Chains A and B, each alone.
Chain A
């Protein structure tokens, strides 16, 4: 019986590399496919958040946290005082990342 010689290290490395490339490309495709759905949702929420900020600017009143109905991110408001100026910082946080930050200030 004729025996086939075992693979050399180089052949083994080549095979592993090809497998790794296949997996990398496949995972990239999967990531991109799932990301596109999120992108549209993010833009939708961004538009609605901008609407809320424009409303706050025009009516000169800060929004309440309960006014925000977005699903992807949460809204946080922090207020700081410096001399006679009050700074109100509104953050839209999604996955522990600030996706939008808006600061309003008023003199008192």
Chain B
């Protein structure tokens, strides 16, 4: 009788362990999907930012706002309620990203535009060097006679 009780108790324990683990595994898969979505959201924002910053004719940064000028279009990145918002043609898009600051920084005599993201209670910085404007490039080209 004792042996039967032990076996039943062990079976019950194993079943509890098995279904507990299965349940936890389900939760973990849900978490994993959420993490993947969160990372993908960031990858989209990051890829767009690199491209727009690289293509820009000029960039103007003021009060946690960055305006990127490219041809006749201008794209504005601003922080609203600690979230990053992208504005293009008066259409606002919430980029689902917690942002601490958009500012100009100077390191070793070079200027950078820093997008400071609140990344899981840590700060992640996407830093892009400020390049000279088109006008300066043209002036430099002619003053240095670079065509010769």
A: residues with CB less than 8 A from B are: 4, 15, 18-19, 21-22, 25-26, 28-29, 32-33, 36, 39-40, 43-44, 47-48, 50-51, 54-55, 58-59
Chain A contact residues: helix, strand, loop or mixed: helix
Q: Which residues of A contact B42 (CB under 8 A)?
A: 43
Q: Which residues of A contact B4 (CB under 8 A)?
A: 4
| Inter-chain contact A29/B119, CB cutoff 8 Å | no
Can you name 14 A-B pairs with beta carbons within 8 Å? A15-B14, A18-B18, A25-B21, A25-B22, A26-B21, A29-B21, A40-B35, A43-B42, A47-B125, A50-B50, A51-B128, A54-B50, A55-B129, A59-B129
Q: Which residues of B contact A25 (CB under 8 A)?
A: 18, 21-22, 24-25
Interface residues of B in 59-105 (CB under 8 A from A): none
Q: Which residues of A contact B50 (CB under 8 A)?
A: 50, 54
Instruction: Bin chain B's interface residue count.
Output: 20 to 34
Complex Cα spacing A28 to B127, Å: 36
| Inter-chain contact B122/A44, CB cutoff 8 Å | yes
Decide yes or no: A22 and B17 within 8 Å by CB, A43-B42, A44-B124, A59-B129 being known contacts: yes
| Inter-chain contact A51/B127, CB cutoff 8 Å | yes
Q: Which of A28, A33, A44, A59 has the most CB of B within 10 A?
A: A44
Q: Which residues of B contact A48 (CB under 8 A)?
A: 124-125, 127
B11 to nearest A CB, angstroms?
9
Q: Which chain A residue has the least Cβ–Cβ distance from B4?
A: A4
Complex Cα spacing A21 to B129, Å: 53
B: residues with CB less than 8 A from A are: 3-4, 14, 17-18, 21-22, 24-25, 28, 31-32, 35, 39, 42, 46, 50, 54, 110, 112, 119-120, 122, 124-129, 131
Complex Cα spacing A32 to B28, Å: 7
Complex Cα spacing A47 to B127, Å: 9
| Inter-chain contact B18/A47, CB cutoff 8 Å | no
| Inter-chain contact B120/A40, CB cutoff 8 Å | yes
Q: Which residues of A contact B25 (CB under 8 A)?
A: 25, 28-29
Decide yes or no: A54 and B129 within 8 Å by CB, A21-B18, A22-B21 being known contacts: yes
| Inter-chain contact A51/B14, CB cutoff 8 Å | no
| Inter-chain contact A39/B39, CB cutoff 8 Å | yes
Q: Tell which of B3, B24, B46, B110 touches A59, judged by Cβ atoms closer than 8 Å.
A: B110
B72 to nearest A CB, angstroms?
25
